[in-house]
Amino acid sequence: MEKCLLSIDWDYFIYTQDSWGSYLENKKSLLDLWYKRYIQTKARGEDIRKTFQLSSEWEVFWNKIKEHFQFVNDIKVYVSDSHALSYEIAKKNNCNVVYLFDSHADLGYGGLSSLDFEVNCSNWLGKLLKDKLIKEANIFYSPYTAEKPEYFKPMNSTYNISYYNFNKFDKCILVSVIHLCRSGAWTPPWLDNKFTQFIDTLGIPYKIVNCPKRKWDTANIDLSDKIYYLMA
pLDDT for the residue 199: 97
pLDDT for the residue 25: 64
β-pair partners for 71 = 175
Residue 74's contacts (CB-CB under 8 Å, 6 or more residues apart) are none
| pTM above threshold 0.85 | yes
pLDDT for the residue 211: 95
Instruction: Fill in the DSSP letter of residue 59.
Output: G
* Residue pair 11/186 in contact by the 8 Å Cβ criterion: yes
Provide the total of helices (H) and of strands (E) in the chain, helices listed first: 8, 9
pLDDT for the residue 232: 64
Q: pLDDT per residue over 110-155, tens digit each?
A: 889 889 989 999 999 999 999 999 999 999 999 999 899 999 999 9
β-pair partners for 99 = 6, 138
* Residue pair 23/108 in contact by the 8 Å Cβ criterion: no
b/e burial code for range 64-83 (CB count within 10 A of at least 16 → b): ebeeebebeeebbbbbbbbb
Amino acid residing at 199: I
**What does the angle CA 82 – CA 15 – CA 4 come to, to the nearest 5 degrees?**
45
pLDDT for the residue 2: 87
pLDDT for the residue 21: 55
Domain count, the chain: 1
Residues of the chain falling short of pLDDT 50: none
pLDDT for the residue 228: 81
Q: In whole angstroms, what is the distance from residue 198 CA to residue 105 CA?
A: 21
Q: In whole angstroms, what is the distance from residue 126 CA to residue 141 CA?
A: 16
Closest CA to 200 of 53, 41, 79: 79
Q: Which domain holds residue 157?
A: 4-230
pLDDT for the residue 178: 98
β-pair partners for 207 = 78
